[in-house]
Amino acid sequence: MITVTAFKWVPPFARGLVRDLRVRWALEEAGLPYQSRLLEQGDQKSAEYRAQQPFGQVPVFEEDGFQMFESGAIVLHVGERSESLLPRDPAQRARAVTWVFAALNTLEPLFGALFDVDVFSAGEEWAKLHRPEAEARVRGRLGELAAALGDREYLDARFTVGDLVMTTVLRELDYSPLVKNEPRLAAYQARCEARPAFQRALAAHLGDFENP
């Protein structure tokens, strides 16, 4: 049985954003059963967990004694077992992987920087000064992504692991109107989130949190 680690509790603003969600989604799309292993507060600092995840983050993927970390790598690993996530055609497969890296390397760091300014450091003077630049960078990337998407339903000919990861990255801006201001991206995100596999993954992700 596949096991995915997740936090037992996170602040309300982080629910639906923790990166075990993208792994759960990939497993649901691939039709692979799994269970979650929930970490209590402080468990991520233990020597046992650091041996599995050197940075104390989630998720860790475990199966039959094999372990790995980093959500993007895990999603690609799962995709290797699912043609619905990673096409067999070499060119289509390469493009799907390219979009995974684009989401994680080109967009997510900028989204995270803006989230830090708006949420974690809100009210601090440096954040107020930095915010216009941070938002401008995000707007620029979103415009470029919308142009690349064009009138297609997905980033390539059909839904792939690239769309899965990109959607989870776009969700990091749900607290703001920035994606909604790009109608093509808003429709794209909604289309991907309407997939039954995503809905199952989100329900499981949210259901694992402790009641307040």
Give per-residue pLDDT as tens, 133-157. Answer: 999 999 999 999 999 999 999 999 9
Question: Tokens 């201001």 appear where?
Answer: 181
The CATH label, of 1.10.10.10, 3.30.360.10, 1.20.1050.10, 3.30.420.10, for the domain at 90-195 is 1.20.1050.10
CA 187 to chain centre: 18
Q: Which residue type occupies 88?
A: R
CA distances (Å), 142 to each of 29, 76, 139, in order?
A: 26, 24, 5
What pLDDT shows up at residue 98?
Answer: 98
Question: Where along the chain do its domains lie?
Answer: 2-84+197-207, 90-195
C-alpha closest to that of 141 among 111, 97, 171: 111
- The residue count of the chain comes to 212
**Residue 158 pLDDT more than 60?**
yes
What rounded mean pLDDT belongs to the chain?
96
Mean pLDDT value across residues 174-191: 98
Residue with tokens 């996530």: 85
Give the pLDDT of residue 211: 54
Give per-residue pLDDT as tens, 25-71. 999 999 999 999 999 999 999 999 999 999 999 999 999 999 999 99
Q: Which CATH superfamily is domain 2-84+197-207 in?
A: Glutaredoxin (3.40.30.10)
pLDDT in tens, 102-141: 999 999 999 999 999 999 898 899 989 999 999 999 999 9
Tell me how far apart the alpha carbons of residues 167 and 190 are, in angstroms, rounded to a whole number.
9
Please give the pLDDT value at position 31: 98
Picking from 203, 187, 117, 193, the residue whose alpha carbon sits closest to that of residue 149 is: 187
